[in-house]
Amino acid sequence: MKNFSDLDSSWRIEKIEQVLMKGERRRLAGSNARLGVHGKEVSFPLVRLTIGGIAGYSWSRVSREAAEAMIGASVSEIFCEDQWIKDRFQSIQFPLLDWLGQVRGIPVYELLTEEKWTSPLSVACYDTSLYFDDLHLSSEAEAVKLLQEEAMQGFDEGFRGFKIKVGRGAMHMDLMEGTKRDIAIVNGIRDVVGPECNISIDANNGYNLNLTKHVLKETAQSNLLWIEEAFHEDDRLYRNLKEWLVEHNLQVLITDGEGHAAGPIVEWAEQGLIDAIQYDLKDYGIINWLKLAKRLAKSGVKAAPHNYGGFYGNYASAQVYPAIEGFMFVEWDEAQIPGIDTSGYSIKDGHIAVPTTPGFGLHIDEANYESMVREHGWVLQAVHK
């Protein structure tokens, strides 16, 4: 409930702590169309926020200087009925939502939907781990086989949706040789995962309009769900591509917006040029997404928030899924970080089973966290007079 009368008016932010948590993906992630090897290590800043003696944990990039100005703020200064959290505190919105879930003893999805769920929450997801792991291979056949094996690893883990990085010819390979390999890998993955799984491709702006059309024509047999970041957002080019898709009876959606998105991208989506917006969940923020999704829904535009490389976004995305209108799939970047128990979440048949435990449903090893903060992080605490 957005009515915050249940919160003790004397409660104030007593302590804010932050440390960089590090862990690993299940395998090394290769290159994409514009960047080199992403690696195996993942990291994210984990904040513990204490108000009224109750702690909330979550991702936050808040700086020590910004956090210092928040120490001592009362709950009435922080929360508001129109957008949950006031603008001044948006940088710590994730730990604040976890804290509020802890106080009320409910998961974030019940908090944000303002509903009591009588059955377990299950949300659709896809495996986002299919990068350019094949650049060391000269043989196209061997490259296809490698990516097929990686896709089947995800399949065996319960995924039924896959996003495949394409655009090898943009930087890492000869243009046409790389494009040919993109096509072979996409069609090869479709062959092994079967017709029921959804498959999307992400070019990271590595294509132009004509390359996009060529790839979509040559992968028509694979029935792609969407093409993401085909090229930097351009309304004239996307209008041309939309007309071409209709002409060739291809049902591929256009998605964009994860990075340095063009200013008018939402307006272009409302004009029918882009089917789903992909602003990053963590950087754009849950509060902004809740507001944007209501606007997008009026014109039938879908939401597909970006989440890669941040670990916490896997779980935050699953929790906010039912509160964001038109949310298509959670982008899942599988990784594990020591000291964080994620066992409340599980993936089966393409869906994430979301725990009913309070907040974001992750269990933090407090002793481990406190040790890491002492060694590598920082602590700000209110001075009691």
pLDDT in tens, 209-242: 999 999 999 999 999 999 999 999 999 999 999 9
146: how many CB neighbours lie within 10 A of its CB?
A: 17
Q: What is the mean pLDDT of the chain?
A: 96
Q: What is the pLDDT of residue 383?
A: 81
Q: Give this prediction's pTM.
A: 0.96
* CB-based contact 292:277 (threshold 8 Å): yes
- CA-wise closest residue to 61 among 273, 355, 370, 283: 283
pLDDT in tens, 147-202: 999 999 999 999 999 999 999 999 999 999 999 999 999 999 999 999 999 999 99
Would you place residue 3 in the very low, low, confident or very high pLDDT band (cuts 50, 70, 90)?
Answer: confident
- Domain 121-363 has what CATH class? alpha beta
% of the chain surpassing 90 pLDDT: 97
Asked: is 13-106+364-381 a CATH 3.40.50.280 domain? The reply is no
Q: What is the pLDDT of residue 220?
A: 98
Would you place residue 137 in the very low, low, confident or very high pLDDT band (cuts 50, 70, 90)?
Answer: very high
- CA–CA distance from 113 to each of 124, 330, 357 (Å)? 17, 17, 16
Would you place residue 385 in the very low, low, confident or very high pLDDT band (cuts 50, 70, 90)?
Answer: low
Q: What is the pLDDT of residue 131?
A: 98
Q: Where are the domains of the chain?
A: 13-106+364-381, 121-363
Q: What is the pLDDT of residue 309?
A: 81
Does pLDDT of 372 surpass 70? yes
Residue environment code for 212-222, b if the CB has 16+ CB neighbours within 10 A, otherwise e? bbbbbebbeeb
pLDDT in tens, 41-99: 999 999 999 999 999 999 999 999 999 999 999 999 999 999 999 999 999 999 999 99
Q: Cα–Cα–Cα angle for 33, 35, 40, nearest 5°?
A: 115
Q: How far apart are CA 221 and CA 184, in angstroms?
A: 11
Does pLDDT of 312 surpass 60? yes
Q: What is the pLDDT of residue 310?
A: 76
Give me the helix-helix angle, 175-193 and 140-156, nearest 10°.
40
pLDDT in tens, 236-267: 999 999 999 999 999 999 999 998 899 999 99
Residue with tokens 């702590």: 17
Does pLDDT of 1 surpass 60? no
Amino acid making up residue 264: P
| Ramachandran region, residue 229 (left: φ > 0; alpha: ψ -120 to 50; beta: rest) | left
* CB-based contact 199:219 (threshold 8 Å): no
pLDDT in tens, 281-296: 999 999 999 999 999 9
Q: How far apart are CA 24 and CA 40, in angstroms?
A: 5
